[in-house]
Each structure stands twice: as C-alpha cells, then as structure tokens.
Structure 1
Amino acid sequence: MAEHCSPTFAQLATELGFSCQEAGGLVEFRNPAALENWTLPVLEWTIIVGSVLALVLAIVRLRRNGDPTNLVLWFGATAYLFIIEPPLYFPAAFGIEEQVDTMFAHNVFTVDFMWGRLPLYIIAIYPLMATLAFEIVRMLGVFRKYGPLLGAVCVGFVHHAFYEIFDHLGPQLRWWEWSTSNPINQPMFDAVPLPSVVVFAALWPMSLAFCVQYFVGRHVDAGKHFSGLQLVWRTIVIGLLASLGTFILPLPATVFGMGSDTVRGFLYAAELAVLTVVAIVVLVRQWRNLRSAESNAPAHTNRFVQIYSVVYLVVMAVLWASALPDFFDAVDGSTSAGDPVGNLWYTLACFVIAILCVSATFTIPKRNSVVDDDAELLGANSTTPAS
C-alpha cells in the first residue's frame, strides 16, 4: 500500500527495521522468532491470551449470571479502538493529513493488520486493560458506593498505572516509535508524549468506564435484563460516546495550551493530578469501608482479573529487568542503539500503585457474598453480581 506510506511513517518504519513499502496487506503473519527481539512475542502473546480469556469469561458471566457488563466493556473498548485508530494510521485517507500527521508507528509483530499499522496485540490490549482496571474498581465496590462518575475516575487512575508500565518501556524495546517532531505529541515526558500519558492512559478509560456503567452496569445492578439488540446498540453508543469523551476531557489542555507546549504540559499534568487525588481518596476510603467490621456489603470478585493482573505485572517486571542494563547505560535519554528510554521512577510508582490496587482486592473480607468467575466457569452456584 505504497500510496499510504507518508514520509513520516516511512521514516519511522525504517528506524524500527521494516519497510513501509513492503508491509503486508490487510492481514500478515510472521515467524515470532524472526521479530525485532524476543520481547515482542512475549508481550504480544501475554496481551492476546489475556484478552481472549477476558472475552470468554465475559460470555460466561452473561450466560451464568445474566450480567453483560464485562461483555459490553470488552466490545465497547474494541469499538473505541476502531473509531480512534484508523484515522491516526491513515490521516491522508481521512482527509486530515494537514491537521494530523503520523503520530507513531508500531513495529511488526507475529500478526499484523492494515499494512503493518495495526498489530493484533494492540486490538487485544484495549479490552484487556479496560477489563483489568474496571473490574479492580468494581471489586472494591466503588461503583456501588459512589456512582458511575467517581467509579470512572478510579478506573482511569488504575488503568493509567497499568498502562504506563507498558508505555514507558515500549520505545526502548522497539515495540513502537513516536514522531517527536509532531506538535501533537508535545511536550514529551522522556520517551512518551505527555498527551499519551494523560489522554490514552487515563482519560479514555475513564470515559469508557463511565459510559459502560451508566448505560449498562448500574441497570444490571438494579436487576434489569437486556435483550441482545439492546446490548448491541448500547455497545455502539458506548464506543462513540467514549471517543467523544476522549475529545472533551482534555479540552482545557488542547484549547488553552494551543500556543505553548509548556502551558499545554502543565494543564495535562494538572488534569492527571486532579484525577489521581480524587481516585486515591475514593479508593482508600472504600477499601477501609470494606474492611471495617460494620461493612456487610456484598463483594464482587473476578478471579481471572486478580490472577491475570499479577501475570501482567510479573511479565512487565521481567521485560523491564531485561531492559535495565541498556537503560542505565543510556546517554542523554537514548541507548547505544539510539532508542529512547522512559522514566524509571514514574514506572516504579505505577508498579507500586498497580500492586496495591490488586492486593486490595484480595483483602476484602470473606464474610461478604462473592461472585466468582472461576465458580461460574465450573458451573458452580454463585450470587447475584454487585458492582
């Protein structure tokens, strides 16, 4: 698809080690042993396996308990992906090349779509990360206690912690490369554009979580049942509105910071700081409430999310450990191979937050009634879900 090889994408592809001119077709398969380095297939299959399991267990929950929330979340995140990503890959085809030049290029993985633009694991990571963050917050009872908005803020916070562990490692290991000359990516936070740190790591999952809980989750909690057609149109609406929310939520930074990278960076950071403070207060208060002797609120548990969150964090820790020698040898923010490095201290903070959030879900007292995905999968009896 040479006609869609913009100069920026062609340059990024070359730096990543593949040719834009020769990049596959609608679908392309590669030998995982022939990828750029061993970390690519490890990342790819960790994300894909997790996403498939999340989908399977979402279907199980719907069939066993009549709760479609996880399934709508999974497909809502996927709908969001297909609304947001194609224009970023092919701005010329959408007539926006003068406003939006190529922002980044993914490296080629075992399975790729759209002429090397869209690896399969990117399709998988949207619903997987959304499921992990949403269900951690749901297990802590935040939606039930504080409603869709504050619950969504907490989802954005938890998602941000999980995602930035991955986001700050990708450029160094050549999972993708950012166009640092693109003004939309400014200001940079070491190897990662600050807009990505805020918008794609925190604000879009917040927008998605609010829409899912508002249109589906809270009604399920109230005992409402949806027909298949009702779930389809609600999922589509959720994908569209979550996309709109991603445009609306960062408006203070994009509008008032239009003429200055410094002002834009400050406003992005301020939005993230507000979200972080609110989420920490709500999560800590709710965790303490669940552990209090007076609490008899029913607990929602999702064993898959608890276990796979640990798997994800362990895999990311191993991948980060493999990157540390080159990270510490980096000069002026770049390794000897010329790859940009992320912010280690920020990543460590995200590891701590993610670990604490997952650990909190294991400390909910057993006296509360429990909904357990493992029990559902085995056909065991379970209680009515509560978020």
Structure 2
Amino acid sequence: MTDHCATTFEQLATELGFSCREAGGLAEVRNPFALENWTLPVLEFTIVLGAVLALVYAVMRFRRHGDPTNLVVWFGATAYLFIIEPPLYFPAAFGIDEHVDTMFAHNVFTVDFLWGRLPLYIVAIYPLMATLAFEIVRTLGVFRRYGVLIGAVCVGFVHHAFYEIFDHLGPQLRWWEWSTENPLNQPMFDSVPLPSVVVFAALWPMSLAFFVQRLVGRHVDKGQTFTGPQLVWRTVVIGVLGSLGTAVLPIPATVFGSGSTTLRGFLYAAELVVVTVVAVPILIRQWLRLRQDPNAPHHTNGFVRIYTVVYLSVMALLWVTALPDFFDAVDGSTSEGDPIGNLWYTAACFAVAILCGAAIFTVPNRKADETPIPSAGEHAVPQTA
C-alpha cells in the first residue's frame, strides 16, 4: 500500500528492518521464527494468550454470575483502540497529516494488520492490560468504598506501573520505534516520550475505567441487569468517551505547555504525580481494611491473580536478557544503535506491580460477589436503556 507509505513511517520501518512498501494487505502472517529477534514471538504469545484468557473469563463470569463488567472492560478497551490508533497510522487518510505526522512504527510480528501498522499483540494488549489494572482495583474494593472517580484514578496508577515495564523495554528490543523528531513526542524520557508515559500508560485507562464503572460496573454492584443491546451501546459509548477523556485529561500539558517543551514536560509529570498521590494511600488503606475484616464484601478474579504473575515473570525474563546490552550502551544507545529505557523507573514500576499482585493474593479468599446476580424478575432493580 505504497500510497500510505509516508516518509516518516518508511524511515522508521527501514530502521526496524522491514519495508513498509512490501508489508502486505489488511492481514499478514509470518513465520514466528523469522522475526527480528526471539523476544518478539515471546512477547506476542504472552500478550495474545492473556487477552484470549481474559475474554474467556469475562464470558464465563457473565454466563455464570450475570456480571458483564469484565466483558465491557475488554470490548471497551478494544473499541478505544480502533478509535485512537488508525488515525495515528494513516494521518493522510484521515486528513490530519498537516497536524499529525507519524509518531511511531511497530515492528512486524507473526500476525499483522493494516499494511504492517498494527500487530495482533497490540490489539490484544489494550484489553489485557485494562483487565489486569481494573480487576486489581476492583478486588481491593476501591470502587465500592470510594466511588467511580477515585477508583478510576487507582486503575490509571496500576495500569501505568504494569505498562511502563513494557514501554521502557520495547525500543531496545526493536518491538517498535518512536519518531523522536515529532514534537508530539516531546519531551523524551530516555527512550520513551513523556506523553506516552503519562497519557497512554495512566490517563487512558483512567478514562476507560471511569466510564466502565459509571455506565455498567456500579449498576452491577447494586444487582441491576442489562440486556444484550444495552451492553452493546454502552460499550460503544465507553470506547468513544474514553477516547475523548484521553484528549481532555492532558489539556494542562497540551494547551498550557504548547509553547515550551520544558513546561509541557513539567505539566505532564505533575499530572502523573497527582494520580500517584491519590492512588497510593487509597490502595494501601483498602488492602489493610480487607486484611483486617475478612467478612467485608469484595470481588475476586482468579484469572487476574494468575496472569499477573505470568506477565511479570515474562517481563522480568525479557528485561534480564536485555541487561547486558543495556549496561554496555553508550550515550543512551546500544551497540546496535537501539535506544535504552530508564532502568530505575522500570524497577520502581516492577515494585509497584509486584506489590499490587501480592495484594490481591493476600486479601481473604472469600468470593463474596461470585454469587449470581438476581434476575430482574426476582430482587434486582431492572436497568433501563
């Protein structure tokens, strides 16, 4: 699809080792053993498997207990992906190329869509990471006790920790490459644009979680039920509103910092600090409360407990194998010319993610809201469209 092979994307693709003019069709399948390096298929398998299992769990929970929240998180995150990503891949096709140049290019993986722009694992990582973060916060009872907004902030914080472990490793292992000359990617935080660290790691899952809980989750907690069409339109609306939230939440940085990269970076960082300051004491307090009161009603999710360990274990393995080249790097680049991330920041994110995983393992194993939700004809209050 050479008419969409923009100059910047072509340059990034060449640096990653493939030709955007030869990446073929709406979908393409490659030999996983012939990719850039062995870490690509390992990452791809881990993320895609996790997303599939998250969907299976969501369907089972809906069928057995009448709780559609996990389904809405999964499909709401996927809807968000297909609203946000295509314009970034083909700015000319969407008529925004005068304002938005190519920001990044993914490497080619086993399964790719949209002429080499969209690997299958990227489609999968949105619902997987959203599920892990949302369900950790839900398990700790934050939504029940503190409401929709505070719960959403905590989801953004947890998601940020899990995502940045991956985000600071990708450029070194050639999973993708950023366009460092693009002003929308400024300022850079080592190999990662600070806007990505804040917006895509913290603010978008915060926005998604807010609307999921507002439109579905809080009603489910009260025993209300939904018909299929009600869930469909709510999921679409969640994807749309989540996208708008991603544009609104970073306004302090994107608007007031538009004239200065330094000021923009400071405002982005300040938003992340606010999220952290709100989330950390709430998560700790809720964990202690559940530990002290085993009879307090709370939610459990066996899949999230297990796959949190799987995800962190795989990421730890990939990081360990990348460390020799990381420590041999000169001026922020490996001997192959690949940029390195921030190890100390990643270590802090690992610590937060491990503590979050430990928290959901150490709350009382009481499945208080695993019981079926009453039907509208019994004790539940019917939910209208």
TM-score for the superposition, normalised by structure 1? 0.95
| 1:238 partner letter | I
Give me the whole-angstrom Cα distance separating, in 1, the residues matched to 2:88 and 2:367.
45
| 1:49 partner letter | L
Give me the whole-angstrom Cα distance separating, in 1, the residues matched to 2:3 and 2:215.
41
Deviation at 1:63, TM superposition (A): 0.3
| 1:309 partner letter | T
CA deviations 1:241-298 (Å, max 9, x no partner) are 00000000000000000011000000000000000010001101111111124x6311
CA deviations 1:346-383 (Å, max 9, x no partner) are 000000000001100111124x44456xxxxxxxxx46
Give me the whole-angstrom Cα distance separating, in 2, the residues matched to 1:319 and 1:265.
29
Match of 1:245 in 2: 245
| 2:319 partner letter | W
Q: Is the 8 A contact 1:204 1:245 kept in 2?
A: yes
Q: Is the 8 A contact 2:133 2:155 kept in 1?
A: yes
Match of 1:24 in 2: 24
| 1:97 partner letter | D
Q: Is the 8 A contact 1:203 1:246 kept in 2?
A: yes
Match of 2:141 in 1: 141
Tell whether 2:314 aligns with 1:324: no
Q: Secondary structure at the match of 2:19?
A: coil
CA deviations 1:75-132 (Å, max 9, x no partner) are 0000000000000000000000010000000000000000000000000000000000
Give me the whole-angstrom Cα distance separating, in 2, the residues matched to 1:383 and 1:231.
18
Q: Is the 8 A contact 2:106 2:175 kept in 1?
A: yes
Match of 2:340 in 1: 341
Q: Secondary structure at the match of 2:225?
A: coil
Give me the whole-angstrom Cα distance separating, in 1, the residues matched to 2:106 and 2:330.
24
Give me the whole-angstrom Cα distance separating, in 2, the residues matched to 1:170 and 1:64.
38
Match of 1:82 in 2: 82
Q: Secondary structure at the match of 1:336?
A: coil
Give me the whole-angstrom Cα distance separating, in 1, the residues matched to 2:197 and 2:104.
14
Give me the whole-angstrom Cα distance separating, in 1, the residues matched to 2:98 and 2:119.
26
Match of 1:180 in 2: 180
Q: Secondary structure at the match of 1:300?
A: coil
Q: Is the 8 A contact 1:139 1:301 kept in 2?
A: yes
For structure 2, the 5+ residue unaligned runs are 375-385
Match of 1:265 in 2: 265
CA deviations 1:219-238 (Å, max 9, x no partner) are 00011100000000000000
Give me the whole-angstrom Cα distance separating, in 2, the residues matched to 1:281 and 1:241.
28
Correspondence 1:188-203 to 2 at 5 A: 188-203=188-203
Q: Is the 8 A contact 1:369 1:383 kept in 2?
A: no
Tell whether 2:229 aligns with 1:229: yes
Give me the whole-angstrom Cα distance separating, in 1, the residues matched to 2:57 and 2:88.
31
| 2:341 partner letter | G
Q: Is the 8 A contact 2:111 2:119 kept in 1?
A: yes
Q: Is the 8 A contact 1:47 1:124 kept in 2?
A: yes
Q: Is the 8 A contact 1:9 1:104 kept in 2?
A: yes
Instruction: Please identify, of 280-289 and 118-127, the stretch whose mean Cα deviation from structure 2 is larger.
Output: 280-289
Give me the whole-angstrom Cα distance separating, in 2, the residues matched to 1:7 and 1:190.
24
Correspondence 1:26-175 to 2 at 5 A: 26-175=26-175
Match of 2:382 in 1: none
Correspondence 1:9-20 to 2 at 5 A: 9-20=9-20
Q: Is the 8 A contact 1:302 1:371 kept in 2?
A: no
| 1:184 partner letter | L
Give me the whole-angstrom Cα distance separating, in 1, the residues matched to 2:237 and 2:223.
21
Q: 4+ runs of 1 displaced by more than 2 Å?
A: 368-372, 382-385
Give me the whole-angstrom Cα distance separating, in 2, the residues matched to 1:300 and 1:244.
29
Give me the whole-angstrom Cα distance separating, in 2, the residues matched to 1:320 and 1:14.
25
| 1:84 partner letter | I
Give me the whole-angstrom Cα distance separating, in 1, the residues matched to 2:86 and 2:208.
19
TM-score for the superposition, normalised by structure 2? 0.96
Aligned residues: 374
Q: Is the 8 A contact 2:64 2:372 kept in 1?
A: no
Q: Secondary structure at the match of 1:177?
A: strand
Give me the whole-angstrom Cα distance separating, in 2, the residues matched to 1:296 and 1:194.
42
Tell whether 2:220 aligns with 1:215: no
Match of 2:350 in 1: 351
Correspondence 1:269-308 to 2 at 5 A: 269-293=269-293, 296-308=295-307
Question: RMSD in angstroms over aligned alpha carbons?
Answer: 1.1
For structure 1, the 5+ residue unaligned runs are 373-381
Give me the whole-angstrom Cα distance separating, in 1, the residues matched to 2:361 and 2:329.
39
Give me the whole-angstrom Cα distance separating, in 1, the residues matched to 2:65 and 2:16.
46
| 1:132 partner letter | L
Q: Secondary structure at the match of 2:286?
A: helix
Q: Secondary structure at the match of 2:22?
A: coil
Give me the whole-angstrom Cα distance separating, in 2, the residues matched to 1:127 and 1:50.
9
Q: Is the 8 A contact 2:140 2:287 kept in 1?
A: yes
| 2:59 partner letter | I
Deviation at 1:24, TM superposition (A): 1.0
Q: Secondary structure at the match of 2:28?
A: strand
CA deviations 1:30-50 (Å, max 9, x no partner) are 000000000000000100000
Give me the whole-angstrom Cα distance separating, in 2, the residues matched to 1:112 and 1:207.
27
